[in-house]
Amino acid sequence: MRLRILAIGRCRPSPEKDLITEYLSRFDRTGRPLGLGPAKVQEIEDKRGGGKSAEGSLLLKAVPTGAKLIALHEHGQTLTSPQFSERLAYFRDTSLPELIFVIGGADGLSEAVLERANEKLSFGRMVWAHMLARVMLAEQLYRGVSILAGGPYHRS
């Protein structure tokens, strides 16, 4: 099962970008033998400055038919890392071709994206900078496959 992080805005060369690259590389190495991966980041820019609604349209246009869409949203469900890994395994085991995580811009996600989302996921009640949300998601993806693989990365 392929995974994609669909996000508004560009991540310029930075420590955050380095972390995202590292965690997704680890995810691919650990997840492929488990039927998970590759994981990619697709960045969307609203060059016309149309705001949240225009960003939402661009995001939805990038989601293929049949893909499961999980929106990162402050009012979404909070999961433990083991629960998150179980969700990944469930999606894989249901022969889902692609799982897409979507991260909005500075104004959040449009109502259209939230309505299309199959699930909403939160990293807690605090609001996180969008680049940090990408890092946190990439890390949790790696942690999730590490749990599924029985690796030592996750200690509870």
| Cα–Cα distance, 154 to 144 (Å, whole number) | 8
- 154 falls in which pLDDT band (50, 70, 90)? confident
Give the CA angle between residues 110, 68, 64 to the nearest 5°. Answer: 80
Higher-scoring residue by pLDDT: 21, 50: 21
Which superfamily does 2-149 belong to?
A: SPOUT methyltransferase, trefoil knot domain (3.40.1280.10)
> Which pTM value belongs to this model?
0.95
Residues ≥6 apart with Cβ < 8 Å to 114: 71, 73, 120
Query: What is the three-class DSSP state of 2?
Result: strand
pLDDT of residue 11: 92
Q: How confident is the model over 41-92, as pLDDT tens digits?
A: 999 998 888 899 999 999 999 999 889 999 999 999 999 999 999 999 999 9
